[in-house]
Amino acid sequence: MKKTLSLSLLVMALGYSATATADEIRVAVAANFTDVIKQLGEEFSKQSGHQVSVSSGATGKLYAQIKNGAPYDVFLAADEQTPTKLDDEGVAIAGSRFTYALGSLVLWSANDNLIDDEQSVLKNQDFKHISIANPKTAPYGRAAQQTLEKLGFWDEFQPKMVRGENIGQAYQYVYSENAQLGFVAKSQVFKDDAFTGGSYWEVPTDMYDPIVQQAVLLKDNAPARDLLDYLRSDEASAVIKSYGYSVSEDQ
């Protein structure tokens, strides 16, 4: 009986120790950065023992969830305005906000021959549907709207436009060829320093407002702070750049 009790206490102690050292970090991430944070999260978990749980969506929708009490530890937005707002509202941990990536917009098609550098497909309207993310909730959607407005096509393309709730859904419409082309995040069609297929036009950055993607800490705990520190490391920056992002030197 005494031996059984001692063994039970040992098992309980080991269980407590595992719980205390291996925490789950809940990350709300803008859809464009989903694949990147999953890759970074796996490497961070190997190094730290902490598990990274990822929930992705449109920045505006994630903001609403956070304001309604969603239990996230970290927020990786697709803009700087939303994290700043959380900062100003006292929801984010003061002093934690920083720029983790600078995004780029691409017009992309799964068809290898549809898009050229002269944007002939847009000028000729040689498509049935064009996909963008919802400009009201997704920064990449706002960038797409700004681009189409500068090109003079915004009003003209309305009957052919399909809107994804976030940039991930906008990409899926094009990937599945339910839309012949669409404005997506470069990171969705670029990996290991090369485009992954299809045809594309890299939208000049002066056609839309800079996509400055910022992170904030929502819960002040050591594992979450360690993850944000890791995102600023040279190792993480190399991975982020390999998906087509730029990295701010001031991070």
User: Does some domain include residue 137?
Assistant: yes
| CA angle, 121 then 122 then 125, to 5° | 80
Question: Is 59 part of any known ligand binding site?
Answer: yes
pLDDT per residue, tens digit, the chain (251 aa), is: 433 334 333 333 344 333 334 589 999 999 999 999 999 999 999 999 999 999 999 999 999 999 999 999 999 999 999 999 999 999 999 999 999 999 999 999 999 999 999 999 999 998 999 999 999 999 999 999 999 999 999 999 999 999 999 999 999 999 999 999 999 999 999 999 999 999 999 999 999 999 999 999 999 999 999 999 999 999 999 999 999 999 987 55
Query: Which CATH number is 163's domain given?
Result: 3.40.190.10
Judge if 26 and 90 occupy the same domain: yes
The one-letter code for the residue type at 2 is: K
User: Does some domain include residue 248?
Assistant: no
Task: State which residues form the domain around 195.
Answer: 104-207
Beta carbons within 8 Å of 18's beta carbon, 6+ residues apart: none
Question: Is 93 part of any known ligand binding site?
Answer: no
Judge if 16 and 58 occupy the same domain: yes
Predicted TM-score (pTM) of this structure? 0.86
User: Does some domain include residue 72?
Assistant: yes
CB 207, CB 122: distance < 8 Å? no
Judge if 176 and 134 occupy the same domain: yes
Q: How many domains is the chain built from?
A: 2
User: Does some domain include residue 247?
Assistant: no
User: Does some domain include residue 62?
Assistant: yes
User: Does some domain include residue 249?
Assistant: no
Judge if 94 and 216 occupy the same domain: yes
